[in-house]
Structure 1
C-alpha cells in the first residue's frame, strides 16, 4: 500500500531527527554561493528553522522533504502528463547510460550540493568532478528534436507539474507545523552547544592571539 503524504513527511522528519545528533560543524572553508534549495525555503520556515541555523542542518531536512515532493509530482506526472513523462523517461535512460554519475546515491545531507569546492584564486584545479561528469554527458547522443506543437504541449504539461508541486509544497508546510517543537528541541540540544563552543574557542583565540599558555 502506498504511504500517505502525511506519513512520508513524518518519516522524513523522523529520519532527520535521527541524523541531527551526528551532525558536526564543517571544518573546511565555507562556500560563497548560497544554496538555492535552502535560502528562503518555506519548508524550513514552516518547521521553524531560521537562517541562523548552520546550512548543513537546514540542507539535511530540506532535501528529505524535497524527496517527498518529488515523489508526489512523479506519481502525478505518470498518471496525467504523458508527454512530460516520456521526456523524463528519455532523460533517465540517458543518465543511466553515462559512464560517470557522481551526484547519484548521495546521502540527503549532500544531495544537490556542489560537486567541487570553490576555486582558490591563483590555484586552478587540474580537473573537477563536475567537469568529468559533463564530459561523460557529452559522449551521449542528443535527444530527438520536438515539433513546435509538441514543444507547446510539453510546456503546458511542465506548467501543470509545477502547479501541482507548489500545491503539494503548501500542503506539506501545513503538516510540518506540528513538528516545530521536536525540530527546535533537537537544534537546541545538538546544534547550538557546538556552535557556542566554537564561538567561545574563537573568542579566546582573539583575546590572546600571542599567549603561549593559551590552549
Structure 2
C-alpha cells in the first residue's frame, strides 16, 4: 500500500506518519524529496519512542499553515488504525476549518495485528467471558473509519484493493475544501518484514504489503 501511495504523492507534500508498523515502514517507503530543516520539515512522525496520538495534531497544524502560506501544498497523514483512534475526533476540527487533510488508515484491526471476521466470531460464539478471551490489542474488523469524517461533511473511502486505493487517493488529492479519510483494509495478521541493517546504511531491505497483507516489494537501500 505504501508503494502505491508513494507513487502518487506530490513531491512537495507534508507527510505525517504515525503508528507502530505503519510508521516504521513509512520511514523507508514514503518519499522525502525535500531536506529536513528547521524552517519546515517535510516529513513528520512520532519520533524515536513512537508515541501514538500525535499524528492528527501534526497534520492539522501543518494544514493550517499551508492554508495561509502555501494553499497548493497537501498534507497527508498515514496512520495505523490504533493510532487514528487516539485522536480521531480531530476530523471535526479539520472539517470545521475546511482543511483538506488526507488521512490514510492502515486498518489491520489491531495494535500491531488483529484478526479476521471469522476468527472474531469464534470468540463471540465461544460462550466464554469476552473480557477474558478477547485479545486486548485487537479491534473489531468491521470498523469503517471512513464513516467518521462523513459525519462532519468530509469525504470517506473504504478500500480493499490497490485499484480502489489509487482511485480514492487521486480523488482526495483533487479535493481542496474538506478533509478525506481513506480506510485501507489489510489483513489482520499483516506484519512488516524484518529489516536488515548494514553498517551505516539505513536499510538493506525494505518491504511493503498489498491490501491483503501479501509481500509485494523488496529492494536494497540503493533504491531508497
Q: Which TM-score applies when normalising by structure 2?
A: 0.20
Bigger CA radius of gyration: 1
* Higher strand fraction (1 or 2): 2
Q: Which TM-score applies when normalising by structure 1?
A: 0.20
